[in-house]
Structure 1
């Protein structure tokens, strides 16, 4: 089954697999082999398996500040509150202390998201059964308002690194799937929204090249402005989505996920000017000596539009491509398109080199 942009649901799983390396663990093998009719069922399967694995390792705990009245001192004495108890002739000490607890924000996010998916009609019974089984071990964890979570404030360290992928799945559910009805109720949208898919699309392409082509040193990059007098005050940052490097060659890829790839100017379809100007600036500022060894590519996710960009321009000695990536294909064909991009610029037969590893995935 496909979503409204023509992306096979199964391919969203593969995109997640690259974006979140944890999905390569053997306990997710059954998820990879299954067919999914909708995005909710896919997320329920991933979250169910992932949380079950985490429960075997033990839920993450952190110190939570507790305050309570006690007959014996524990932690720090709250003098003002204790004096009030004495005035009221209550023989209780008001104490404040840290307690190691599983009732922390990360576990609260997991529990709340599992409950959201559990009550959705499109999640299959076997997936709901696993979610219910997991939830039995979240008895001491509170639910929260998922829409109030400040996702950018979440921090990971050695003891909770395994949560990163799970929380990102929860974020996709909350940010991309939750809609409020007129009555204030919460329901799940049919598919990931455009912004959520934009981020996933970009991360997928980056991690694909990192995994299959470490020799290209794929990374986001910061391009310095090529200014003559050294003055850069108030100039905006130039941050690339993906930069590939091989020898003296560099390819900058700007991943774009839009419902409409082209813009209409006086009834004529044209490439979006702001995207082209941005890529031109990236290429020319990075290629300071005009060597022609820096190229750029605006890579749109293919839509159902009649006119699909597939252009190659040479501007001031530098190549700039405008292409689309068709996600409505079996995954080996999607991988083939990404291999072709690298082959066209770096001139290597990378498709043959990586065919076996792509098929094994």
Structure 2
């Protein structure tokens, strides 16, 4: 449903998928609406909310008749489907995603406009802020490692992305035409890690990237996110997302350095999921580790030895080469089924679960 009359083609389409966020949606949309002008449109997709989210969205947007705003309502199908719906409705030259519990930081739309007018890149990579509303002193900016210049080298674009490993679609502002180059649906429905499979594919289509050292999003950290529910599906979805990205990069014919950087990033995600899997019941954990090992091996372009050699020869973009080397050695041990590795992870996860429970008990006591 369109709230207001159609305007000329906007430069920026801001897409906000929303589901049961009545406590956050007003602050989110106010952070967007306060920056909007004639070159912008806002599209909100309500994903079957059962609370007051949709009513609050409509009330807020009806108070802004001068702005181009659209509300779409669908049955609950997940954030991937909501994002795809937003893309289908968007008319802007560039796409800005904002999650409904986050905030668009001040000056972001103006900074994006200025960057586009000056350079017109295929994608703009932005910093963001990790936001802890209840512990503001711990909120902090996350900066990317791209050079401060318009990049036209695809290997540099992809290698820096894999070294940073910031897999958030809202931190990258792509031309809508780049999204249209991918087969629909762009975001795989029903997957937890839809960004991990989608961002490498989008970036591989880009001939130019501009790094904008402006924090664009306040990325809200929820207390609940500290106690994320580890499940078999959660683990398997990440492994599957890596394989989708790998297959696309292969088809694009990326060079050897990109393959090495992809493998290292995949190693980080793999070892993280392996460690998390030790929170599952023993039988489930074993089943998951066997499944993700097979998918991970299929996702790699090379092997651990080639990754380690590239890191030690300083042939990679890296935040910390020694840390990269330690991770690769952990991957080797996990793949080999090392008894010592299994014992350490079992003990480590038990300690982490115990600490998490203690934190939750303390938080509950405060309230």
Q: TM-score range by the shorter chain?
A: under 0.3
Structure exhibiting the larger radius of gyration computed from Cα positions:
1
Report the structure, 1 or 2, having the larger helix content: 2
TM-score of the aligned structures, taking structure 2 as reference length: 0.25
